[in-house]
Amino acid sequence: MTEALVVSNILLWLSVVVLGGIVFALTRQIGVLHERLAPLGALAVTHGPAVGDPLPERSLVDADGRAVKLGGVDPLERRTLLFFLSPTCPVCATLLPTLRRIIAEESPKLRVVYASDGEPEEHAQFRRDHGLDGAHYVLSQELGMSLEVAKLPYAVLVDAAGVVRAKGIVNTREHVESLFEADRLGVDSIQSYLQLESTAEPQAGGRWVS
C-alpha cells in the first residue's frame, strides 16, 4: 500500500513537471508570435483633410467659454490633438486615461481639444464623471462635418504650423500612440510605414532600401 502511494505521488509530480514544461513552451511561442506580429496603428481614413494638408482655420468657444483657435500657426509652438468623442461611446471613455498620460508626457508642447456635438447638459455630466472639467471641450457639429468625421473615437494630430500630421479611428491605446509615432517617422500612418518596410529590398551588408 505504501509503495503504491509513493509510486502514485511520483507519477503525479512527473505529470506536474511535464505540464509545467508544456505551459512554458506555449508561453514562449506566444511571446515569439507577439514579437513577430507588427503593431497596428490608428485605422487610416481617406476622407477629410489629408495628412500634410493644413487644418482649416476655425475659431470656437469651449464649454468653459474660452476661445479655442484651430489651424494656423500656434504662437506657443504646441501640437494639437483633436479627439472626437461622445458620451454614448464607451470606447471613447476607456481612452481618456491614455490621453491624460500623453498630456502629462508631452506638456507643455501638446494641447488636447476634445470635440463633440449634442446637448450641453449631457456633456457637462460626462465631463464631471470623467474629470474633464477645465479641459478644452468644444461642441461643434460643423467641426466634425468639416473634417468628415464618420466614426468615433476619432483623432487628428496637428503640428505647431497647423498641418495635419496623422489621423484616424482610434479604438485602443496603441492606436492613439501610433499617431505620435507616425508623426515621428514622418509617414501618413503606421500601416503605410509597414507596407513600405515590407516592400524594401535587402542591400549588401544587411541594409534595406525601398
- Stretch 179-191: mean pLDDT: 88
Secondary structure class of 13 (helix, strand, coil): helix
Mean pLDDT is lowest, of 38-42, 54-58, 153-157, 163-167, for 38-42
Residue of 175, 122, 128 lying closest to 151 (CA atoms): 175
Radius of gyration over every alpha carbon of the chain, rounded to an integer in angstroms: 24
Q: For the chain, what are the domain ranges?
A: 1-37, 58-196
Kindly indicate the confidence band of residue 20, based on its pLDDT and cuts at 50, 70 and 90. Answer: low
Backbone φ, ψ for residue 108 (5° rounding) = -95, 15
Predicted confidence (pLDDT) per residue in 146-158, tens digit: 999 999 999 999 9
Whole-number Å distance between alpha carbons of 103 and 107:
6
CATH hierarchy code of domain 58-196: 3.40.30.10
Peptide bond preceding 49: is omega within 30 degrees of 0, i.e. cis? no
Tell me what pLDDT residue 28 has.
Answer: 53
pLDDT of residue 27: 54
Which range among 3-7, 43-47, 136-140 shows the weakest confidence by mean pLDDT? Answer: 3-7
Q: What share of the chain has pLDDT > 70, as a percent?
A: 74
Cβ proximity of 123 and 45 under 8 Å: no
pTM: 0.74
